């Protein structure tokens, strides 16, 4: 089973629309297709961005966002960060995602920002879009 880390943009895209690969990926979390990995800083980032957009771009209440993030946390592997890889990428928020992936020895980071993670691909972690990942695991 592949171990993956979701970039914040994947969660936000899934919360904004029930259409597309991000929502399909989010709906499969906790099933037998893959294992998601989170860390405390990454969950806080998910929560910060989702709640900022809640009620505006995301048609969910703050409580509903909490419920979704709580579910993700309940079924994901929790990774402590023992080694900081910063700064490796241009954006510190992307470094946060990479740190989880590297410390958890994840197989892939799922993101729409492939170019932003270009330097990360040299560290044995695949940088891939949700659609391509779903195709790889035979769901699309």
pLDDT the model gives residue 109: 96
> What is this structure's pTM?
0.93
Structural domains for the chain: 2-136 (3.40.50.1010)
pLDDT tens per residue, range 75-85: 999 999 876 66
Read off the pLDDT of each residue in 11-29 and give the average, rounded to a whole number: 97
pLDDT the model gives residue 17: 95
Query: What's the distance, Cα to Cα, between the start and end of the chain in Å?
Result: 17
Read off the pLDDT of each residue in 94-116 and give the average, rounded to a whole number: 92
C-alpha 140/C-alpha 79 separation (Å) is 29
The count of C-alpha atoms lying within 13 angstroms of the C-alpha of 61, restricted to the half-sphere facing its C-beta, is 3
pLDDT of 104 higher than 90 = yes
């Amino acid at each position: 089973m592949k171990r993956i880390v979701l970039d914040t943009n994947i969660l936000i895209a899934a919360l904004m629309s029930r259409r597309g690969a991000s929502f399909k990926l989010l709906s499969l979390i906790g099933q037998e297709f893959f294992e998601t990995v989170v860390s405390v800083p990454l969950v806080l980032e998910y929560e910060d961005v989702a709640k900022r957009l809640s009620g505006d771009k995301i048609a969910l209440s703050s409580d509903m966002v909490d419920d979704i993030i709580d579910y993700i946390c309940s079924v994901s592997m929790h990774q402590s960060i023992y080694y900081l890889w910063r700064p490796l990428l241009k954006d510190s928020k992307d470094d946060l995602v990479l740190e989880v992936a590297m410390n958890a020895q994840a197989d892939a980071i799922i993101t729409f920002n492939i170019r932003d993670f270009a330097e990360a691909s040299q560290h044995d972690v695949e940088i891939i879009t949700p659609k391509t990942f779903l195709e790889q695991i035979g769901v699309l």
